[in-house]
């Protein structure tokens, strides 16, 4: 689903519906209460594909914009799945017949997809949902990007800018020092080395939004917790959590990323995206607009080769970039996010910008703190 969803276009408007679908032949288990579990992802993929097939073979084909599994709860003989359905209608169309049309397609078409699990339509319902409510529901789901603007700018040899709602800038005296990532309404993740010169939380502010100036929102810092094993000049355990003095109310422009489970195996050779306001090249200038770069995750065995980092990559680290050089994170990106997206376009934080031998040099990819390795440490201090 393209999540450029909250605005209509010219003479058209988006309509949101909440479908409560009773699914039989499926046993509820606790993992389904978490949006980020494999079970939730599998069920989401199944239902969203089913909705796509249903509406794409119907009279509403051109009006259907997408669907999203939002919540799953236990129900007698199965589970109840709350699904948001999105349509683009013309402004002149009447609301009530629209919902009836959607309902009719569901009634007629969904019955054609029986499987071991299937939707019991007699125990399902459909209701209207206001746009603001839909936006609130989407903003509460971790790792979704709504405002997909396009633009062109670069991180060291990088690509275009976009919107990354969990990205924050850590500042001292209103000067950008490091990146950070929003992981809840009050907690951010960053790099321990960012606080080398100042561990006092009152010296720091956090800004949100794509531009450093003007910022979309500013918050103060209540607590900084640095990994107890981190030592300056070592690169190991380069992780810190920060708590804000005041909670952030999530919007489409500011909300949290997803965290992978500690047992998640992060594959290598896949694409990841690093974002930040760091230097555009080694010792270069700081941009005002957030930059993004797509990099490849690199096998630690390869990254530990003599000509690369010669054994310096520890289990708590992750390399990403290109051995031929070019696209990379750089000074000032530190503490910021390295993310990957899953099959439902949810973005997960896999790394924290940590170190590297300059920026963009051949055989010197960026090195990141491996979030899965520190996942339990994060839970210990934040409860997340």
Which positions touch ligand 4AZ (CB under 6 A)?
328-331, 333-334, 353, 355-356, 359, 366
In the residue annotation, 193 being an active-site residue is answered as yes
Comparison of 198 and 216: residue with beta carbon closer to ligand 4AZ: 198
Q: How near is the Cβ of 357 to ligand 4AZ at its closest, in Å? A: 7
Nearest to 278 by CA among 232, 228, 323, 338: 338
Comparison of 138 and 355: residue with beta carbon closer to ligand 4AZ: 355
In the residue annotation, 262 being an active-site residue is answered as no
d(CA 84, CA 104): 17
Nearest residue to ligand 4AZ, by Cβ distance, number only? 356
Q: How near is the Cβ of 297 to ligand 4AZ at its closest, in Å? A: 14
Phi/psi zone of residue 311: left (φ > 0), alpha (ψ -120 to 50 degrees), beta?
left
Q: How near is the Cβ of 365 to ligand 4AZ at its closest, in Å? A: 7
Distances (CA, A) of 2 to 67, 96, 336: 10, 25, 25
d(CA 49, CA 30): 23
Of these residues, 207, 252, 334, 354, which one is catalytic? 334
Comparison of 13 and 314: residue with beta carbon closer to ligand 4AZ: 314
In the residue annotation, 176 being an active-site residue is answered as no
Comparison of 19 and 356: residue with beta carbon closer to ligand 4AZ: 356
| Residues with Cβ within 8 Å of residue 322, at least 6 apart in sequence | 295, 296, 328, 365
**What is the crossing angle of helices 95-109 and 38-56, to 10°?**
100
- HSE toward the beta carbon, residue 62, CA cutoff 13 A: 4
Of these residues, 15, 146, 238, 329, which one is catalytic? 238
Of these residues, 193, 227, 235, 237, which one is catalytic? 193
Q: How near is the Cβ of 287 to ligand 4AZ at its closest, in Å? A: 15
| Catalytic positions, written as ranges | 193, 238, 334
């Amino acid at each position: 689903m393209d999540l450029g969803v909250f605005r209509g276009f010219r003479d058209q408007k988006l309509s949101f519906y909440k479908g409560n679908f009773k699914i039989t032949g499926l046993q509820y288990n606790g993992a389904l209460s978490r949006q980020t579990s494999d079970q939730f992802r599998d069920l989401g993929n199944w239902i969203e594909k089913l909705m796509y097939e249903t509406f794409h073979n119907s009279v509403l084909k051109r009006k259907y914009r997408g669907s999203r599994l939002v919540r799953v709860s236990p129900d007698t003989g199965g589970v109840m799945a709350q699904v948001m359905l999105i349509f683009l209608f013309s402004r002149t169309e009447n609301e009530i017949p629209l919902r009836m049309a959607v309902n009719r397609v569901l009634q007629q078409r969904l019955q054609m997809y029986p499987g071991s699990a299937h939707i019991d339509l007699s125990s399902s319902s459909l209701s209207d949902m206001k746009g603001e409510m839909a936006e609130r529901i989407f903003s509460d789901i971790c790792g979704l990007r709504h405002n997909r603007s396009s633009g062109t700018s670069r991180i060291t040899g990088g690509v275009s800018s976009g919107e990354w709602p969990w990205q924050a800038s850590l500042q001292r005296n209103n000067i950008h020092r490091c990146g950070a990532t929003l992981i809840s309404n009050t907690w951010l993740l960053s790099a321990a080395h960012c606080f080398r010169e100042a561990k006092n939380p009152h010296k720091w502010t956090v800004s949100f939004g794509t531009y450093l100036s003007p910022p979309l929102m500013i918050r103060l810092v209540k607590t900084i917790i640095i990994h107890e094993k981190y030592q300056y000049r070592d690169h190991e355990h380069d992780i810190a959590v920060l708590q804000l003095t005041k909670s952030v109310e999530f919007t489409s422009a500011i909300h949290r990323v997803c965290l992978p489970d500690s047992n998640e195996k992060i594959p290598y050779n896949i694409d990841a995206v690093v974002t930040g306001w760091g230097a555009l090249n080694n010792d270069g200038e700081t941009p005002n607009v957030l930059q993004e770069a797509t990099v490849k995750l690199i096998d630690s065995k390869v990254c530990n080769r003599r000509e690369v980092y010669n054994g310096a990559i520890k289990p708590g680290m992750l390399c990403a970039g290109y051995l031929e050089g070019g696209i990379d994170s750089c000074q000032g990106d530190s503490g910021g996010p390295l993310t990957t997206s899953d099959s439902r376009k949810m973005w997960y934080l896999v790394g924290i910008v940590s170190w590297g031998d300059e920026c963009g040099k051949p055989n010197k990819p960026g090195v990141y703190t491996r979030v899965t390795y520190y996942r339990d440490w994060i839970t210990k201090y934040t409860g997340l």
